[in-house]
A and B are shown apart, each in its own frame.
Chain A
């Protein structure tokens, strides 16, 4: 464990807790893409298949349970909660799941480290996580209004993966044979997807104006 990875995990943890807290307190999911949240639940499910088979550390197991629990809770709130679901904008959140899931699945079947079920599922979860934010970014472009918490949520989500890139660089130089080029490429693609959002987020923060994404 290094500081970059710990900071990355904490940033990721805060991002999902900020979102869960927002939905739970104001009983609204305005501006949140259910599609993206469902994709994240799928990411965690396919990535943590080894939750009960390989014990790495208490930290690792606890964090996996938190990520699984929070992502499924968020999906439950938006789908089932009698008040929250009313604020879900299903007419705007129309990104098709299979446009993202299928290519990632095909890619995972073609490019992976080992052709085993768990390894292909793990690789699939990496590719999926890289693009899972797309429905959310599309929704933000469409609705154009980004309330603070949603902006912070997306920002923290992008920041966590950027910190992970620093972690991979650190581990590459400190651990022999630490080779995970699939992880590195997926992580870089993911962070680049946030790049333009970061740009507008910093512009709005610097000029102290409301965050507006260009149409």
Chain B
């Protein structure tokens, strides 16, 4: 998946 797949949510 593209790198925008970040876990910035709780």
Q: Do A and B come from one complex?
A: yes
Binding site for B on A (CB under 8 A): 5, 9, 12, 50, 54, 56-57, 60, 63-64, 67, 113-114, 122, 164, 167, 175-180, 183
A64 touches B4 (CB 8 A): no
Residue of B whose beta carbon sits closest to that of A9: B10
A12 touches B10 (CB 8 A): yes
Residue of A whose beta carbon sits closest to that of B4: A177
| Interchain residue pairs A-B with the least CB separation, the first 8 | A177-B4, A113-B1, A56-B8, A63-B10, A177-B2, A113-B5, A9-B10, A122-B7
A40 to B1, CA, bound (A): 28
- Name the distance in Å between B2's Cβ and chain A's nearest Cβ: 6
B1 touches A50 (CB 8 A): no
A-B contacts, 27 of them at CB < 8 A, read A5-B9, A12-B10, A50-B7, A54-B7, A56-B6, A56-B7, A56-B8, A57-B8, A60-B8, A60-B10, A63-B10, A64-B10, A67-B10, A113-B5, A114-B5, A122-B7, A164-B9, A167-B9, A175-B4, A176-B4, A177-B2, A177-B4, A178-B4, A179-B1, A179-B4, A180-B5, A183-B9
Residues of chain B within 8 A (CB-CB) of A113 are: 1, 5
Residue of A whose beta carbon sits closest to that of B9: A5
Residue of A whose beta carbon sits closest to that of B8: A56
A183 to B5, CA, bound (A): 11
Residues of chain B within 8 A (CB-CB) of A60 are: 8, 10
Residues of chain B within 8 A (CB-CB) of A9 are: 10
Residues of chain A within 8 A (CB-CB) of B5 are: 113-114, 179-180
- Name the distance in Å between B7's Cβ and chain A's nearest Cβ: 6
- Name the distance in Å between A164's Cβ and chain B's nearest Cβ: 8
A114 touches B10 (CB 8 A): no
A113 to B4, CA, bound (A): 12
- Name the distance in Å between A34's Cβ and chain B's nearest Cβ: 23
Residues of chain B within 8 A (CB-CB) of A63 are: 10
Residues of chain A within 8 A (CB-CB) of B10 are: 9, 12, 60, 63-64, 67
A143 to B5, CA, bound (A): 42
